[in-house]
Structure 1
């Protein structure tokens, strides 16, 4: 059996955090993430750990919707002497009153019951008013598969990542290069990646795109221009990695600036794409407004260099989300660019301060000239340049360490 087939049976990287931080502390767990990234698989694996002592409900089930509206407490599974049941509620955010109803269920539990809520749209739970769920849950963002998770789903702490990478604490794993090649070819989502079939991957991608635009977008937006949004979506992959201009898309689509902005917000809410914004504090003549867009499924991107940059972006964003969601600090992803068009592709912030800049090159192992512009301006003392092929070389720029490393090795240290 291949390593990829084996990983499909493994626990996802959030399993232990959900058990320890939520179920061990009498809190609900909210898990959101892109459609078909593995949320249901994660939920059912947690249920299986309890020998299926609990219940899984999906909003698309008519019997569940009826019970949810008429008597929501009736869905709570009964406990056993030695095992707390698990109640899984999938896609209940489609109910406009889901927060209020869930609060009522949680606050009136007669016996202990762990609750897991999953959804493929952002669970916008931060809302003022009497139905606030504040203090009753922790929210986790589940990502598709990353290179390291293909063989190891254990936690990686931020300090350990940095120290282990720069000290090269382990040899490059034998299968890492193949994993990178597979990710580049099939994308990060479990179904096409595990199938290892380019034709099936194209069909899967086409189907996923149609469902997101024609069904999920319709559910959250109630807008009539779905065919127009579908056309806009087809124009976006070629813009990955470059400065994203709403005006440029507006001109192509012949609609207003606000309309394009609203459509993009919907696509971000559905975890179809995300924006990385420029960082400008203490950076002379820094770009402040225009960001860059990336896809949660970088398999959507045809250009090899842009797809590679998107792959690196996804891995960095996954690390930022995991470390933030599990309490290790507030980690955010930005990029650096000034008005002279000098740029460093990514900058990870920790608690609002620059922590790690990362430049992405398809093949150029020579340090980018832009490092000499930006690295002296940053408080962090390390930088990384990632290339596709195997490489490992340290440089010193302005008294700071710059590591030029191959992607397979670099990504094997990240979560």
Structure 2
């Protein structure tokens, strides 16, 4: 098994933006591999003529930097290490730990021989907030835990794909999982990830006082991945179950879960009307292993879990992903990319005696009259099949492309 998994898609993005007049911001859930990505990129730089004294690395979660209390201390610490006559590559992990960090980052960015890279584990670093703080002078590289293809690359033996897929979803896709040998070790590791995300990136930052209620909301969402949700529906369901919670509180908690990259939100899109819909959305987990850690294996909907895996893979491949509405039917995903739109339906299996499952899955795709590519992804091991232009593909083959 490989000790370090190459992440070429992310490395290539960093290489493409090297020395461009932009702050490179790598975002993603804790432990998804952001620091290791910087390690890999620094190795690339040194293999391509950059000396070690041109590289400045800081991880602001480390004890060596706990005394940094404001942006000026951070700025001065880095500035005194700059090599005056060479390009300096500055890497700052978990930069959000320093108040008003953006002032230090912008101060370094405007120095001509500085190429600045930062990471963070919550959305304080991006979206509207970051656009304001860094005045549009940044590019975001969105990082996820390992894809199934990356996970599989760690093994010399590429057989038994079904077993490896089961391990991938149950143990989780955080890179360090591959260094652990037992279920108990993995469970302890996932507990640490979950606790750090909830306590550091949600409870502390959002000043949430009712941690037990937050835990109830998280459990509800983990149990409803791939189901259409609204703030009102969640509030009503939880209140009916004896856990009274307001719509406003649900909105606050879900926003925090999305901002910490533990959940991703897929909004609905009307295919025929060509418009985004304001009501209803689906939520997907950044790592299915966290669901198994929190809820166990009972009542696990294998179809929705597979749907979750496909959703994340589409994000990795650079698509903007929405849930499709076609009349009263639903297409699992509309993927908007640089080459246009693609439609995806996901089902664990479509094999049954009467063929009704296959017909049900194909029906929404058949109702779309444009000529964009349409795919049905399943775990069925059948030859590549076309249903009136709809390509049915084994999902594991698709994930490994």
Normalised by the shorter chain, which TM-score bucket?
Answer: 0.7 to 0.9
Q: Deviations over 1:307-357 (max 9, x none)?
A: 22211111112213xxxxxxxxxx3101224574x3221111236x96111
Among 246, 255, 258, which residue is 1:265 paired with?
255
Among 104, 108, 111, which residue is 1:105 paired with?
108
Q: Which residue of 2 aligns with 1:78?
A: 82
Q: Deviations over 1:225-247 (max 9, x none)?
A: 22321222122221112112433
Secondary structure of 2:336's aligned partner: strand
Secondary structure of 1:282's aligned partner: coil
Displacement after TM superposition at 1:376 (Å)? 4.2
Matched, 1:361 2:347: yes
Deviates more, 1:60-69 or 1:211-220: 60-69
Matched, 1:88 2:91: yes
Contact 1:280-1:286 within 8 A present in 2 as well: yes
The 1-side partners of 2:133 and 2:246 are apart by 36
Matched, 1:197 2:182: yes
Contact 2:335-2:342 within 8 A present in 1 as well: yes
Q: Which residue of 2 aligns with 1:386?
A: 377
Q: Which residue of 2 aligns with 1:238?
A: 223
The 1-side partners of 2:265 and 2:23 are apart by 29
Q: Which residue of 1 aligns with 2:122?
A: 121
Q: Which residue of 1 aligns with 2:29?
A: 34
Secondary structure of 2:82's aligned partner: coil
Q: Which residue of 1 aligns with 2:305?
A: 307
1:331-350 equivalent positions in 2, closer than 5 A: 331-337=319-325, 340=328, 342-350=329-337
Contact 2:385-2:391 within 8 A present in 1 as well: yes
Q: Deviations over 1:384-404 (max 9, x none)?
A: 11112423332243xxx2111
Contact 1:284-1:338 within 8 A present in 2 as well: no
The 1-side partners of 2:285 and 2:345 are apart by 18
1:394-409 equivalent positions in 2, closer than 5 A: 394-397=385-388, 401-409=389-397
1:243-262 equivalent positions in 2, closer than 5 A: 243-251=228-236, 252=238, 253-262=243-252
Q: CA RMSD in A?
A: 3.1
The 1-side partners of 2:115 and 2:67 are apart by 18
Secondary structure of 1:309's aligned partner: helix
TM-score by length of 2: 0.81
The 2-side partners of 1:360 and 1:396 are apart by 15
TM-score by length of 1: 0.79
Q: Which residue of 2 aligns with 1:140?
A: 141
Deviates more, 1:290-299 or 1:224-233: 224-233
Among 7, 15, 24, which residue is 2:11 paired with?
15
Distance change in 2, residues 1:131/1:386 (3 Å): closer
Displacement after TM superposition at 1:131 (Å)? 5.3
Contact 1:390-1:409 within 8 A present in 2 as well: no
Matched, 1:25 2:23: no
The 2-side partners of 1:63 and 1:278 are apart by 43
The 2-side partners of 1:86 and 1:102 are apart by 13
Q: Alignment length, in residue pairs?
A: 370
1:172-191 equivalent positions in 2, closer than 5 A: 174=159, 176-177=161-162, 179-191=164-176
Distance change in 2, residues 1:191/1:336 (3 Å): same
Matched, 1:278 2:264: no
Q: Which residue of 2 aligns with 1:297?
A: 287
The 1-side partners of 2:349 and 2:127 are apart by 43
Distance change in 2, residues 1:284/1:36 (3 Å): closer
Secondary structure of 2:393's aligned partner: strand
Q: Which residue of 1 aligns with 2:203?
A: 218
Give 5+ residue unaligned stretches, structure 2.
none
Q: Which residue of 1 aligns with 2:60?
A: 59
Q: Deviations over 1:216-275 (max 9, x none)?
A: 213421232223212221222211121124334313131110110111000100001011
Distance change in 2, residues 1:196/1:391 (3 Å): farther
Secondary structure of 2:12's aligned partner: helix
Q: Deviations over 1:345-393 (max 9, x none)?
A: 1111236x96111111112156343533444425343211111242333
The 2-side partners of 1:84 and 1:261 are apart by 45
Contact 2:350-2:380 within 8 A present in 1 as well: no
